Amino acid sequence: MSVAAPVRRSGSGFRISKRVLPYVLSLPALLVCIGILIPFITAIVYSLQRYRLSQPWARQFNWGENYVDFLSDPAFWNTLQISLTYAGLTVVLELVLGLAIALLLQKRTTLNNFISIMLLMPLMTAPALAALMWKLMTNPGFGILSYLATLVGLEDFRWASSPSTALFTVVLVDIWVYTPFMMILLLAGLRSLPTQPFEAAALDGVPRSFVFFRITLPMLMPYILTATLFRLLDSIQQFDIIYAMTQGGPGNKLTVFQVEAYLNFFQSTNVGRSAALLLVLWAITFFLSNIFVKNWLRLRERAHGEA
């Protein structure tokens, strides 16, 4: 019966047996997994409790009452609606703009490479800092965007301070920050596509619209799904742009999940409700990511079958 050789020191350093090596290599991943599971399990425990920081003596398990209360709570449904609306608007607009810019920069030239690098500048800015910059630019007293709005006839445009335009403003900031992310992923996808189908279509005189919808888009779909998934999961968890611009206001117009959970925890000190909100958000992101991953796997299998 063979026994795994122990760890031993040689002249060149430590040597680890082949049986032990896989466990050693997987140890960092195990530590990361534990680091993720501890706060996740803690959030589950808190979400099943009636727990306020201002009343720690009244802490007790309510076994899901926080989730049941959501069904009859208009504030929760308002949060769900705003979160999905915000995520849908930002992802769709950023996908369209990112794809359009990627198509314009598809050809490898020095100028296109320079422009693509310059367009990444907003992505290098912290979202909270970008929101503060836009807050200054939309200030009704001295903001440059407010001044430009008056030039086109929009007098006293309130931007993020008005309930009717607050969503438009934060979506605009999100588009400015994250469209380069979509652009660079789709540009990488476009430049990695095989050239033979496009060369054959050019020789046959196929219209560009046909090439785009029947050749480019189907071949680019895995990249589109990947970019959309990343942005959707990020935008539905948006906090920094919205909180820096409006703190969830005016009123409750922009109380997305992260902002609502933050306000419940730090203002209302309602730890149980805050944890329950975040777990509902996790369930939504888990459901959406499963849909996108399944579609991505189906596209990959179809591509392998056609190949």
- How far, in Å, CA of 99 to CA of 190, rounded? 9
Helix and strand element counts for the chain (H, E): 13, 4
Of 52-56, 61-65, 168-172, the range with the highest mean pLDDT is: 168-172
- How far, in Å, CA of 47 to CA of 35, rounded? 19
Task: Identify whether 18 is part of a domain.
Answer: no
The answer to whether 187 touches 102, Cβ cutoff 8 Å, is yes
Specify the pLDDT at position 282: 92
Q: What is the mean pLDDT of residues 130-153?
A: 87
For the cut 60, the answer to whether the pLDDT of residue 161 exceeds it is yes
Sorted by sequence, the CB contacts under 8 Å of residue 46 that are 6+ apart come out as 271, 272, 274, 275
Mean per-residue pLDDT of the chain: 86
Task: Identify whether 266 is part of a domain.
Answer: yes
pLDDT band at 17 (very low <50, low <70, confident <90, very high): confident
pLDDT in tens, 227-276: 998 899 889 988 999 999 888 878 888 899 999 999 988 888 888 899 99
Can you say whether the dihedral through the CA atoms of 54, 80, 90, 255 is positive or negative? negative
CATH number of the domain encompassing residue 284:
1.10.3720.10
How far does the chain reach from its first CA to its final CA, in angstroms? 48
For the cut 80, the answer to whether the pLDDT of residue 2 exceeds it is no
- How far, in Å, CA of 55 to CA of 43, rounded? 18
Task: Identify whether 32 is part of a domain.
Answer: no
Q: How far is CA 233 from the centre of its chain?
A: 4
This prediction's pTM: 0.85
For the cut 80, the answer to whether the pLDDT of residue 86 exceeds it is yes
Specify the pLDDT at position 300: 74
Task: Identify whether 219 is part of a domain.
Answer: yes
The burial of 126, by beta-carbon neighbours within 10 Å (0-12 exposed, 13-18 middle, 19 or more buried), is given as exposed
Structure tokens of 273? 């409700």
Question: What's the total number of domains in the chain?
Answer: 1
Q: What is the mean pLDDT of residues 97-126?
A: 90
Task: Identify whether 145 is part of a domain.
Answer: yes
- How far, in Å, CA of 188 to CA of 223, rounded? 9
Using H for helix, E for strand and C for coil, what is the string for 164-227? CCHHHHHHHHHHHHHHHHHHHHHHHHHHHCCCHHHHHHHHCCCCHHHHHHHHHHHHHHHHHHHH
Q: What is the dihedral of CA 74, 80, 84, 85, to 10 degrees?
A: 20
For the cut 70, the answer to whether the pLDDT of residue 1 exceeds it is no
Task: Identify whether 66 is part of a domain.
Answer: no
Percent pLDDT > 70 in the chain is 94
The answer to whether 236 touches 285, Cβ cutoff 8 Å, is yes
Please give the helix or strand (H or E) that residue 273 lies within, else none.
Answer: helix 271-306
The answer to whether 171 touches 90, Cβ cutoff 8 Å, is yes
Q: What is the mean pLDDT of residues 201-225?
A: 86
For the cut 60, the answer to whether the pLDDT of residue 186 exceeds it is yes
Task: Identify whether 81 is part of a domain.
Answer: yes
- Domain holding 297, by residue range, is 75-306
Specify the pLDDT at position 9: 52
Task: Identify whether 38 is part of a domain.
Answer: no
Long-range contacts formed by 262-270: CB under 8 A, 24+ apart: 268/52, 269/52, 269/53, 269/54, 270/51, 270/52
